[in-house]
Structure 1
Amino acid sequence: MDVNVTDQKIKPLDIILASSSQTRKDLMNRLGLAYQCISPDIDESPQGENHADDLAKRLAFEKAKVIAEQHPHAIVIGSDQVAWREHAPQDFIGKPLTIDKAIQQLQANSGKNVYFSTALSVQHLASNFKQTLVEHYHVKFRDLTLAEIERYIELDQPLHCAGSFKCESLGISLFEQMIGQDQTTLMGMPMIQMCGILRKLGIQLP
């Protein structure tokens, strides 16, 4: 829901990133804004969603909501990402957590298009502002050998990344093509959209 805000300017110091992700912190740092990170404690398991968009959107909204209710005068940013393979948005690709699972994921990704539904929720409860959206990005994996997969996992350690790769690191070597309007969507937080929302809330960028 998109609600008009008041004319009151909100200080950059009142920005909270509802995340503990280092990648999302690195993306926020690009903006040169003062902010703090608070990790929301929510259950990230699916609750009957049958499309990646729906799961990503709910999780991003809930992450922001939890922190916004604790800090109603702050601008709170929540984001979440769900990966899925072509023609199967109902089959979510999660974080592998183990080397064996990462090998399995990358073998399944080999030669395939893998899609990413990345949701963003920005909330400022003091002015009754809430905006949540989903952006998309996808990559075409090249054909990968087992030796390449094992070497990649050893070097990049992508065990906490959906799809078992880090696009901002050596994961770029796994791709044949990257398709989308904003590469930060693939990295886990759509920055072009977020900058537009922050400007609505009175944050000067640049």
Structure 2
Amino acid sequence: MTILTTSFSEIILASSSQTRKDLMNRLGLDYRCISPDIDESAQGEIHADDLAKRLAFEKAQVIAKQYPNAIIIGSDQVAWREYAPQDFIGKPLSIENAIQQLQANSGKNVFFSTALSVQHCASGFEHTLVEHYHVKFRDLSRTEIKRYVEKDQPLHCAGSFKCESLGITLFEQMIGQDQTTLMGMPMIQLCEILRKFGIQLP
């Protein structure tokens, strides 16, 4: 692996997501969070990969311009159902929307395009990628769905579930190389990039 011959002042996670903070905390690194203020709506993208990649890049770019000597980490995730990558599944934001999303997901494969963008303006480093993960939902009754939503309150989660908690009960299968991709930030890829800056992991 080629180590970048550059120095950095700090690591910044361009996010306010508690789940992404929890993922970063696994690494035991000193970092801080700054929430980027960007428009997260689609701008003509016709595939979930394209939307996730643009949003992750823009999140990191906004903060990187303010802190050019810092390593900036941006990530975004877009969910979509099988054969429909152009129909983006957003955060439900309400109990009724969450119930409706899960009813639509019942018995189906739901895919997640999770993008990661790492930027260091001072050296001109930028690497943006998309990882994939998908889950097969079991057939869910409305009673099960309502009980789940009430207990887990997945109102700010694309797809209306938290796989790290009770959401695991909704699935028949989970398919992918890195479960953190499903959680919102592909940590295996992130670790590989951070090592290029000479950061020792572990």
Q: TM-score higher than 0.5 here?
A: yes
- 2:198 matches 1:198: no
Of residues 35, 40, 45, the one that matches 1:49 is 45
Q: Deviations over 1:2-41 (max 9, x none)?
A: xx98513435xx0000000000000000000000000000
Residues 12 and 72 in structure 2, CA contact (< 8 A), matched pair in contact too: yes
Q: How does 1:131-142 map to 2 (within 5 A)?
A: 131-142=127-138
- Residues matched between the structures, number: 201
Task: Report the Cα distance in structure 1 between the residues aligned to 2:55 and 2:3, rounded to whole angstroms.
Answer: 24
Of residues 20, 25, 30, the one that matches 2:26 is 30
AA aligned to 1:27 is: L
What is the deviation of 1:203?
1.1
Task: Report the Cα distance in structure 2 between the residues aligned to 1:80 and 1:113, rounded to whole angstroms.
Answer: 20
AA aligned to 2:6 is: Q
Residues 57 and 134 in structure 1, CA contact (< 8 A), matched pair in contact too: yes
Any stretches of 5+ residues in structure 1 without a counterpart?
none
| 2:8 alignment counterpart | 10
| 2:91 alignment counterpart | 95
Any stretches of 5+ residues in structure 2 without a counterpart?
none
AA aligned to 1:8 is: T
Task: Report the Cα distance in structure 2 between the residues aligned to 1:47 and 1:15, rounded to whole angstroms.
Answer: 29
| 1:73 alignment counterpart | 69
Task: Report the Cα distance in structure 2 between the residues aligned to 1:165 and 1:179, rounded to whole angstroms.
Answer: 16
Q: Secondary structure at the match of 1:103?
A: helix
Residues 84 and 92 in structure 1, CA contact (< 8 A), matched pair in contact too: yes
Q: Superposition RMSD on alpha carbons, in Å?
A: 1.1
Q: Deviations over 1:44-87 (max 9, x none)?
A: 00000000000000000000000000000000000000000000
Q: Secondary structure at the match of 2:98?
A: helix
AA aligned to 1:162 is: A
What is the deviation of 1:94?
0.3
Moved over 2 A (4+): 8-11
Residues 51 and 90 in structure 1, CA contact (< 8 A), matched pair in contact too: yes
What is the deviation of 1:131?
0.2
| 2:170 alignment counterpart | 174
TM-score, normalised to structure 2's length?
A: 0.97
Task: Report the Cα distance in structure 1 between the residues aligned to 2:7 and 2:36, rounded to whole angstroms.
Answer: 26
AA aligned to 2:5 is: D
Q: Deviations over 1:101-155 (max 9, x none)?
A: 1111000000000000000000000110000000000000000000000000000
Of residues 120, 126, 129, the one that matches 2:125 is 129
What is the deviation of 1:201?
1.5
Residues 9 and 202 in structure 1, CA contact (< 8 A), matched pair in contact too: no
Of residues 82, 97, 104, the one that matches 2:100 is 104
Of residues 159, 166, 169, the one that matches 2:155 is 159
